[in-house]
Structure formats: structure tokens, C-alpha cells
């Protein structure tokens, strides 16, 4: 069964899933779907929408042409990272994108499993879409635009083009640890403590987020 799991990094209670299965319908299925729970104060809300239903688990027909799923997000002003898992359960022929309508950006979730972004007061909850289709008309983030190299405790960001101008380093709990401007060519970062981190690259036209491991 094709299952894409998502959650806001640092907030495990926000986890939800979209499943493609043959016995599902495009509407709410009481035996297959689950409504979202209202989050506590200060906890982000992320869920998919089908009609008027806000779902934590959303099961959809296994084969639907031009499938677009509304992924809604609301939170206090700040920086957040969406993490995705389960991409390997989808056949190679099934495209899988996240669209950030505010930034006009497409993220290929088969190449990138985390996406960092900033929320401001007044942002629409309907900011994101999940696309199970080939997409065009937005700025797609490509792994070739910025290569991240990890050697011991040293991290280098090498840009093929001048796409990004700022780097942010997050813990897996979502805490911003440091940020700095990206210089032309490459930028180096030293991380003293072993563990998993998320690097977020910010640009005027595109953002990109990647997980790294310091061993």
C-alpha cells in the first residue's frame, strides 16, 4: 500500500498520512479515514482536506489521474520544517511533489524528504498541496542546485548557481541552532555535536531542506 506520512519536526502529535488503496473512494471513508484532532495551544496544525472534512488519515483510490490533495497548515509566526516518510512505498512511475503556493515552489519528495519554511501572521491555511502527478509552472527545487557535503564535523554547501543566500541549521526538534549568509561558490559550517540535523537553504525564488548526520 502506498503511504506517505508527514509531520512537523519537533511536534510528533502532528503526524498524518495519505494512503492510496484500491478499496478507497475520493470522499470520506469511515472505515479507512480518520478526522484530525484539534491541537493544543502552540502546536501547529497540518492535515489534508476532502470537501469540508479535515483528515489526519486520508485514503484515496489507488489510481486517479491528476491527483491533487490539499495539505493545510496553520501555526504561530515562526520557522517550521515538514518531514515526509514512506516515499519508497510508491512505484517509480508515480510522481510525488509538495507544492508551496506562497513561495511558488515545487519539492520533489522522492529526492527531498524535508521542507523548511517561514510562517507569518495572515498566511492562508491552504498554502500546500500534495501532487501525485507531473507538475509545472512553479520553481522546482533541484538537488543539483546545491550540493551538501559532510566530512566528519565539517559541512560544505556548494552551489552550482547563485540560488540561495542564507543557511539555517535546525535540530530534529525544530530548534533553530544557527544561521548565516551563504557566500558565492561554497559555504562551510562546523558542527561540534554528533547527531541528526536539518539544513535549510533560503533564496529569493526557492527554499530547500535536507537531513544530515554528523557521526
Specify the pLDDT at position 75: 95
Specify the pLDDT at position 143: 43
Specify the pLDDT at position 128: 96
Specify the pLDDT at position 65: 52
Specify the pLDDT at position 73: 97
Is the Cβ–Cβ distance between 37 and 16 less than 8 Å?
no
Residue 170: all three cell numbers together: 535546525
Long-range contacts of 147-150 (CB under 8 A, 24+ apart): 148/199, 148/210, 148/212, 150/212, 150/213, 150/214
Specify the pLDDT at position 101: 92
The model scores a pTM over 0.85: no
Beta strand pairing status for 195-202 and 166-171? antiparallel
> What gap in Å lies between CA 54 and CA 56, rounded to an integer?
7
Of 141, 135, 149, 88, the closest CA to residue 117 belongs to 141
Distances (CA, A) of 186 to 42, 50, 156, 160, 178: 37, 44, 7, 9, 17
Number of Cβ within 10 Å of residue 129's Cβ equals 18
Query: Residue 49's Cα: distance from chain center in Å?
Result: 17
pLDDT per residue of the chain (215 residues) written in tens, 0 to 9:
789 999 998 898 999 999 988 888 888 999 999 999 988 889 999 999 988 899 999 998 875 555 789 999 999 998 898 999 999 998 777 788 999 999 888 888 888 888 888 899 999 999 999 988 765 544 555 444 567 888 888 888 876 566 788 888 888 767 789 988 886 666 888 899 888 888 888 877 667 777 788 88
Amino acid at each position: 500500500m502506498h503511504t506517505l506520512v508527514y509531520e512537523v519536526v519537533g511536534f510528533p502529535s502532528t503526524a498524518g498520512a495519505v494512503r492510496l488503496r484500491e478499496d478507497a473512494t475520493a470522499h470520506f471513508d469511515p472505515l479507512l479515514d480518520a478526522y484530525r484532532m484539534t491541537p493544543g495551544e502552540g502546536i501547529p496544525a497540518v492535515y489534508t482536506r476532502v470537501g469540508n472534512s479535515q483528515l489526519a488519515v486520508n485514503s484515496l483510490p489507488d489510481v486517479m489521474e491528476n491527483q491533487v490533495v490539499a495539505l493545510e497548515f496553520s501555526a504561530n509566526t515562526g520557522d517550521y520544517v515538514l518531514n515526509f516518510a514512506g516515499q519508497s512505498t510508491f512505484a517509480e512511475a508515480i510522481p510525488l511533489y509538495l507544492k508551496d503556493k506562497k513561495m511558488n515552489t515545487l519539492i520533489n519528495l522522492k529526492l527531498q524528504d524535508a521542507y523548511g519554511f517561514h510562517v507569518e501572521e495572515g498566511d492562508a491555511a491552504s498554502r500546500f498541496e500534495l501532487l501525485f502527478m507531473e507538475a509545472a509552472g512553479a520553481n522546482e527545487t533541484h538537488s543539483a542546485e546545491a550540493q551538501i557535503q559532510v566530512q566528519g564535523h565539517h559541512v560544505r554547501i556548494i552551489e552550482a548557481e547563485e540560488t540561495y543566500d542564507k543557511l539555517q541549521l535546525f535540530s530534529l526538534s525544530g530548534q533553530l541552532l544557527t544561521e548565516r549568509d551563504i557566500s558565492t561558490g561554497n559555504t562551510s559550517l562546523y558542527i561540534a555535536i554528533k547527531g541528526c540535523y536539518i539544513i535549510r537553504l533560503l533564496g529569493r525564488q526557492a527554499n530547500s531542506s535536507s537531513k544530515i548526520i554528523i557521526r
